Amino acid sequence: AAADLKAQPSRPTAPAAVDYWTGFYIGAQGGYAWAESGSYKTNDWLAGGHLGFNHRLGNSNLVLGIETDLSMTGMPEVAWIGTTRLRAGVLLTPQLLAYLTGGGGYGRLDDSIGSASFTGWTAGGGVEYALFKHLKAGLEYRYIDAQMFTGFTGKAHSVLGRASIGF
């Protein structure tokens, strides 16, 4: 009868996994850069911002994305540097992403003769850690190989600390 039916305790359900990585984000970056062109060498700070989009592939550990950034520099003659890049990474833990990145690099040189833009390619890699669902911090290295129509060629390296807010 009904009195013989005992209420079964409900089983706890596992909490839904948090996806820290899919979505748009915007952030700030700052660090150190060094560049050279022929015998000319320079180095100093750089600081700027970035925005992008990441997408985690299903329940896998793979994350793909696209990002663009722009940084002002303290380097003489290098007014600013920017990149637009693809990113491909693997989750080492649900909150820790290691990635490679590559794409186009561009910028502006200003000196006593005048100013000129440059373009080239960039490649690098980094790690990011999700402190919370929408807040990430990371460290990134980038290399830029640049050319101008005037024949100028240059190479730049940067190491950047990053912070991003997702939405």
Task: Output the pLDDT for position 98.
Answer: 98
Q: Is residue 54 predicted with pLDDT exceeding 80?
A: yes
Q: Are 143 and 28 in contact (CB under 8 A)?
A: no
- CB burial of residue 63 (10 Å; 0-12, 13-18, 19+): buried
How far apart, in whole angstroms, are the C-alpha atoms of residue 24 and residue 22? 7
> For the chain, what percent of residues have pLDDT higher than 70?
90
| Angle CA 129–33–76, to nearest 5 | 145
pTM: 0.87
Contact, 120 vs 152, CB < 8 A? no
The 3-state DSSP class for residue 36 equals strand
- Model pLDDT for residues 115-144, shown as the tens digit of each residue: 889 999 999 999 999 999 999 999 999 999
Of 66, 30, 23, nearest to 162 by C-alpha is 30
The pLDDT of residue 3: 59
State the pLDDT confidence band at 13, using cuts at 50, 70 and 90: low
Distances (CA, A) of 49 to 15, 27, 95: 34, 6, 22
Average pLDDT for residues 4-31, to the nearest whole number? 80
